[in-house]
Amino acid sequence: MPAKRGLPERVQLKNLDALFGIDQEQTGQVMDVPISELFPFKDHPFKVIDDEKMEQMVESVRENGILVPIMVRNRAEGGYEVISGHRRKHAAEIVGLKTTPVIVRELTDEEAVITMVDANLQREEILPSEKAFAYKMKLEAIDRVKGRPKKEGQVVPNFQGMKSTEVVAEGTGESYKQIQRYIRLTELIPELMDMVDRKKIKFNPAVELSYLSEEEQSILMDVMKEEHVVPSLSQAHQIKKLSQDKSCTKEAIHAILSVAVIKERNVVIRHEVLMQYFSADVSDAEVESLIVRLLEEYRRKRGGL
Look over the chain and give the mean of its residue pLDDT values, rounded to a whole number. 82
Q: Mind listing the domains of the chain with CATH numbers?
A: 16-146+160-179 (3.90.1530.10), 204-264 (no CATH), 271-301 (no CATH)
Residue-level pLDDT at 80: 95
Residue-level pLDDT at 249: 94
Q: What is the distance of C-alpha 293 from the center of its chain? A: 42
**Most confident of the following: 28-37, 123-132, 194-203:** 194-203
Q: Provide, rounded to the nearest whole percent, the portion of the chain with pLDDT above 90.
A: 53
pLDDT at 18 over 80: no
**What global pTM score does this model have?**
0.70
Least confident of 200-209, 239-248, 279-288: 279-288
Distance CA 280, CA 131 (A): 54
**Per-residue DSSP letters for 183-244?**
HHGGGS-HHHHHHHHTTSS-HHHHHHHTTS-HHHHHHHHHHHHHHT----HHHHHHHHHHHH
